[in-house]
Amino acid sequence: MVGLMSAAFAALGGLLIGIIAGYNRPFDNIVMRVMDGLMSIPTILLAIALISLTGPGIGILIVAIAIPETPAVARLVRSVVLGVRERPYVEAALCGGARLPKVIWRHILPSTIPPLMVQSATVCASAILTEAGLSFLGVGVPPEIPSWGNMIASSRLYLAIAPLTIFAPGICLAVTVLAVNLLGDGLRDLFDPHAKRRR
């Protein structure tokens, strides 16, 4: 849940920033440096810092996880946009009198979707892990809401008596992350005919 939402936020934010950066040179220069900065801070540290500023809560948690994941998405989208905007068919659309927003909507956006989906799956997987990690550390989802991270954290004390209480959520977590990653692979194959043929 938190993972999904964070991934969605990261994807949207990344898409927006990426597209604008792909089309606006000055914005590109500034924002991409900022993004580089964000990327160099470990996700968990950034999230902990954000949460300790505002106090725990699901909403802030989602934002805290989404922010460090955004730069990767933005970079990806930007590179796709930069590639596609030079395509003759985009120039052809401009020649036909299309205005920029329409060109972006009709010709550029569709090309960014497949890689975006794939990336989102990866982001989702890592967001689930981050969430679990944060909850385990006690700064994630408030303890009254059940989450695997919380479960593991609270079971830690009973590890010797009831090991299953820690392994069950742990295994669930691992399986979920694996599943989401596989989903990402599947999406890539679906959208990218070359990758499919190679298999």
Partner 1 sequence: MSGPLLKVENLTKHYPLGSGIFKKTIPVIRAVEDVSFSVEAGETLCIVGESGCGKSTVARLLMRLVEPTGGRVLIDGTDIAGLKKDALHAWRRRMQMVFQDPYSSLNPRLTAGQIITEPVENFERLGRRQRQALAADLLRNVGMSPEMMHRLPSELSGGQRQRVGIARALALRPSLIIADEAVSALDVSVQAQILNLLLDLQQQMGISFVFISHDLGVVEYIGRRVAVMYLGRIVELAQCEALFAKPVHPYTEALIAAAPVPDPTRARLATPVEGEVPSPINPPTGCAFHPRCPLAVERCRIDVPPLVPMADGRVVACHVRAPAGDARHLAPVTGDHPLYPVAMSDTLSIRASRVHR
Note the residues at the interface with partner 1 (CB under 8 A). Answer: 87-89, 91-99, 102, 106-107, 110-111
H-assigned helices in 88-192? 88-95, 100-103, 109-137, 148-155, 164-191
- The nearer residue to partner 1, 29 or 54, going by C-beta atoms, is 29
65's enclosing H/E stretch is: helix 58-85
- The nearer residue to partner 1, 55 or 88, going by C-beta atoms, is 88
- The nearer residue to partner 1, 65 or 84, going by C-beta atoms, is 84
Report the nearest approach of partner 1 to the CB of residue 166 (Å): 48
Report the nearest approach of partner 1 to the CB of residue 106 (Å): 8
Report the nearest approach of partner 1 to the CB of residue 92 (Å): 5
Q: 139 with 125: CB under 8 angstroms?
A: no
Report the nearest approach of partner 1 to the CB of residue 18 (Å): 19
CA distance 49 to 42: 11
- The nearer residue to partner 1, 106 or 156, going by C-beta atoms, is 106
CA distance 15 to 12: 5
